[in-house]
A = this chain, B = another copy of it.
């Protein structure tokens, strides 16, 4: 039984190194796209719009944009722009709105972009896996063609769209050479991340019978923590939550006990403070997984350690390195519970309204 469940998801996770490489190279070929939609210093408001996993990608993309370009960017659920525009954006500002959608057919992002296309100072763009999609017709789009998937849950599509967008951001940043180099390193290392991620996830899932798993991270890593949380929720229907790492201490930590797995995606910038939170959760009885650039004495306490690499590099470029472990963690939890990872309950591949 287990042999035939989740074949698409399993294969697609393992295919991400090639998808990342192609997305990186495609973005390099589309330098004029980066200059037009990301490199215009006159733009006052840049929006990354998505739903579900695509919103979580948008969070990581917007954090990268702010950090590398020193200009404002906002990640928004597409439905916010579509339905409550006044509360979330400034209509009068010179704006680039970038839709994020695997299929390019998700009703909300297509309708959201369509709803602002007549605004005088707004330009539309996108990132998708399908060049011929409705979204790509509304706004010139970056394409990750090897990101296309059979499974309902997004894995390599998500990782590769983030890397494609980060490469485009790197192209127009002041530290272009440095960021492109670290993204190239990330892409090269993802094969190893996939191999290690599978083993570590299998070990973590069988370590205890968790009845809840919490994913923590900050900034660019927060988008990845949210995504890890959603992968597990979709595939296994278990209790999963995600929070900013230090935010978790302000109330939510009341749920932690010995049946809890806490996965902390540590940023180099905030390593000391985040590891302190991780240790506190272990004191409450949790099984603690630490993902960080490199192991050290300060991570020896962790029940499991996931290396994200790029030592000396940026937290933004490192974010995608944590994904294979998180995706496999969801996958193996689903199998352990007898769920089919390819076909989550209540869900479909493209969400239409």
Q: In the complex, how many angstroms separate the beta carbon of A117 from the nearest chain B beta carbon?
A: 20
Q: In the complex, how many angstroms separate the beta carbon of A226 from the nearest chain B beta carbon?
A: 10
Interface string of A211-253 (1 = CB under 8 A from B): 0100000111000000000100110010101001111011111
Set B77, B86, B253: member contacting A244, Cβ < 8 A: B77
Question: Interface residues of A, CB < 8 Å — how many?
Answer: 65
Cβ-defined contact, B63 with A254, below 8 A: no
CA of A253 to CA of B93 in the docked complex: distance in angstroms? 35
Interface positions of A from 246 to 302, Cβ below 8 Å from B = 246-247, 249-256, 267, 269-270, 273, 276, 284
Cβ-defined contact, A249 with B63, below 8 A: no
As for how many copies of this chain the complex holds, the number is 2
Q: Is A4 an interface residue (CB 8 A)?
A: no
Q: In the complex, how many angstroms separate the beta carbon of A165 from the nearest chain B beta carbon?
A: 15
Set B54, B55, B247, B346: member contacting A284, Cβ < 8 A: B346
Q: In the complex, how many angstroms separate the beta carbon of A345 from the nearest chain B beta carbon?
A: 5
Cβ-defined contact, B77 with A90, below 8 A: no
Query: Chain B residues near A79 (CB, 8 Å)?
Result: 218, 244-247, 270, 273
CA of A87 to CA of B249 in the docked complex: distance in angstroms? 21
Q: Is A181 an interface residue (CB 8 A)?
A: no
Q: Is A67 an interface residue (CB 8 A)?
A: yes
Beyond A79-B246, A153-B251, 12 additional contacts (C-beta under 8 Å) are A55-B250, A72-B93, A77-B246, A79-B270, A83-B269, A84-B218, A84-B267, A87-B220, A233-B251, A239-B239, A241-B241, A276-B353
